[in-house]
Structure 1
Amino acid sequence: MPQTRIDAQTLAQFELEQYIEEQAQEIAPEFEIDSVDDADFGTMYRVWSGRDLLGTFYRADVDGLWVAQPCCSDLRPRCETPEQAQLLIIALSGLLVADVA
């Protein structure tokens, strides 16, 4: 017969994990990506954290790589994927949250 009663330790562990998850959602920044047409670069993607613009990225016609343009840096690194460009912009903005668990 399966055990249907949850012991106090299991319940406490579940509640603790739920609390930690809720806190992480409040602490972890949320990012939004939108796009605009740019006369020079074509489709320009913008990375936002709330109302703050963190940077932009676009696909270069010359080599097909993604050019990241973080607002907080003069660096213009080229990336293989749009996800790499987004991650680079977020990391250079100082908002990258690492999970060490």
Structure 2
Amino acid sequence: MTGAPMIGFGSGSEGQTCSRANCSNPAGWNINWRNPRIHGPERVKIWLACDEHRDYLHDYLEARDFPVVVTALDEPLDRLPDVTTDVSSSVIAPETALP
């Protein structure tokens, strides 16, 4: 796991909970995102999501035109270029390869 900051806290993947307000479900997904107006591709913010809120958190960020990629909890990203995502897949991957 990288040193990227996560909202949800805890050590390792055990005990980490969903970042959605008032949700205490265990997290199973990283919602990797950044605000391109203030941060470059090397800055990745991570929200944690349970299965129930994965699409909600992704869509919330995508609606604001933020690059967002969903990965498994144990697969955070080190960089997040401007990407388009597809929420129909089980793990949302960038359409372009990461450098």
Query: Please, what TM-score do these two structures have when normalized by structure 1?
Result: 0.26
The structure whose residues are more often strand, as a share, is: 1
Q: Which protein has greater RCO, CA pairs closer than 8 Å, 6+ apart?
A: 2
The structure whose residues are more often helix, as a share, is: 1
Larger Rg: 1
